[in-house]
Chains A and B, each alone.
Chain A
């Protein structure tokens, strides 16, 4: 990997680290212009199947299977979990977010829907808004690492898909999440 790409990766990680520790009252409407990925996209040319195996490792190829569903690939992990009433993307999910952002940056035609969820405590409409705020937080993180706005839709199910009758936080916790769903899955 050449130096300019390495620097960009470090810069991207740094920005992500800052975003992840930002408190939730940071205005949502800021556009991160300084860190937009200006390098040529990795796959601007389509690769005809007949031209043989692809050595870059990031493209889908008949030989290696779909990284999005390969259980050995972090891209097959799709859920980011949150603390109660919070929308901050925690440190432990940084590698996951980075991996998906990179995939989106490198596959301009790929699109995702970020589905935000909340646990069932509190009112349905408030939880709908909280779920949305979580998906927007993940979208921001993806944007910072090169995914484009048009590749990402954010929706919320609030508490509507939550496991009902949770007795403890270990159960509630599983409902406080954003799921990354790729189009055409």
Chain B
């Protein structure tokens, strides 16, 4: 099984060392900083009698929860009983391990080469069931089901929204070749969407996750394509004279905001998702680029140097006067919204260092989320809790993730290839 991000990790602040690895670990994930409170949870290995699944579903769930920084996943091997149903749980044994929650489950074979996955979540202290799910799936959906179970646990115990059953897109540059890849949010199973000897930049997921827009230089100039992730077919969205770049989808998936230079300098336009109906949105004599539609569809935020230096502005999505949004730091670029529309992640240049910053749009308060010299491309997870971004490590592009409160940071470094331009896709059904 191909894996981009490995799962060898050592947690710095906690007694229980977690070193699980299902495949050759290509990656080291360093978690620096700790969350204030981690929930200790026992994930009992699922019963898998009669099934031939290679993936240990419990390991996938454990890795997801661990990676969130909000859970301390306990070793369960030493416990005498290994329940696969709530009725078999001896709560006292688990309480003795300091577990606050426990998950148990089972995978059984069904006729027609299908599987039935059952899982239950219980509160160890109150000795009550918190969640129970049953899935009827094809064997190749087992990993996705593990992520969905992790999401149920995560939502029930933290109150946060789902995140694990999702995918990320990024560009992998390796041996002079560029590939736009899509992998599960845990880095497993990267699939190449398109590859080329020329650069590919700016991948952008359609809101329903079925398509991805991107900019390709395969014809020696930047052109925007929209490609279906199910059929592999693609449409040339924009190939006007000059540059065509920076696609950003409207929340209803019907339009995109894009940047063209056919009138000379970079300006923002909107266009229908089928390539018709081009309309100019900004009209300035400076650079206007990196449009980002607000989640409510009303505004398009963008980067402009109309004030002398790159800063972030906003304009009504139906056109009008632009208003400046950022006022701190030397330059601010690359606006990216949190799913709830309340915060804006961006790239800030302070004295030549490019880091990720987060601005609360109500209060105007800004906090720095990263401290790199060359960080860019911030992208929120579907639950708004984590920001994925591009950084540089060892002379190569790498991905990193930081919790939206800035406290837990993870670097995902990879042993081959130069990774850039990450974009977190929506939740999978």
B-binding residues in A (CB < 8 A): 25-29, 120-126, 128-130, 132-133, 136, 153-158, 160, 164-165
Contacts and interface: CB of A to CB of B under 8 A. Distances in A.
Contacts of B420: 124
Interface stretch (B102-110, B125-133, B286-294): B286-294
B347 A121 contact: no
Contact of A125 (B217, B241, B334, B354): B334
B227 to A, nearest CB: 19
Interface band, chain B: 35 or more
Given A121-B349, A125-B201, 13 more contacts: A29-B263, A29-B285, A122-B347, A122-B349, A126-B334, A128-B222, A129-B265, A132-B243, A132-B261, A132-B265, A133-B287, A136-B264, A160-B199
B246 interface: yes
B263 A126 contact: no
Contacts of A121: 349, 352, 354, 374
Which of B241, B266, B421 counts the most A-chain CB atoms under 10 A from its CB?
Answer: B266
A154 B242 contact: yes
A165 B395 contact: yes
Contacts of B349: 121-122
A125 B202 contact: yes
A164 B395 contact: yes
Contacts of A130: 287
Contact of B285 (A25, A125, A165): A25
Given A132-B242, A132-B243, A160-B217, A126 B354 contact: no
26 contacts: A26-B285, A28-B285, A29-B263, A121-B352, A122-B349, A122-B376, A123-B333, A123-B334, A125-B202, A125-B303, A125-B334, A126-B289, A126-B303, A128-B201, A129-B259, A129-B261, A129-B266, A130-B287, A132-B265, A133-B266, A136-B261, A156-B243, A156-B261, A157-B217, A160-B199, A160-B217
A160 B201 contact: yes
Contacts of B347: 122-123
B259 A125 contact: yes
Interface of B: 199, 201-202, 217, 220-222, 241-243, 245-246, 259, 261, 263-266, 285-287, 289-290, 303, 308, 310, 331, 333-334, 347, 349, 352, 354, 374, 376-377, 395, 418, 420-421
B289 A125 contact: yes
A160 B420 CA distance: 12
A120 B374 CA distance: 9
Contacts of A157: 199, 217
A128 to B, nearest CB: 6
Contacts of A26: 285
A29 B264 contact: yes
Interface centre among B285, B308, B377 (most CB of A within 10 A): B285
Given A29-B264, A132-B261, A155 B221 contact: yes
B217 A124 contact: no
Given A128-B289, A164-B395, A136 B265 contact: yes
B329 to A, nearest CB: 13
Contacts of A136: 261, 264-265
A82 to B, nearest CB: 14
B285 A132 contact: no
A126 B246 CA distance: 9
A8 B303 CA distance: 42
Please list the 3 inter-chain residue pairs (A to B) with the smallest Cβ-Cβ separation, ordered nearest first. Answer: A129-B266, A27-B285, A160-B199
Contact of B376 (A124, A133, A153, A154): A124
A94 to B, nearest CB: 22
A23 to B, nearest CB: 10
Contacts of B354: 121-123
Nearest to B171: A124
Contacts of B377: 123
A39 B220 CA distance: 35
Contact of A155 (B243, B303, B376): B243
Nearest to B291: A125
Contacts of A154: 242, 261
A166 B388 CA distance: 25
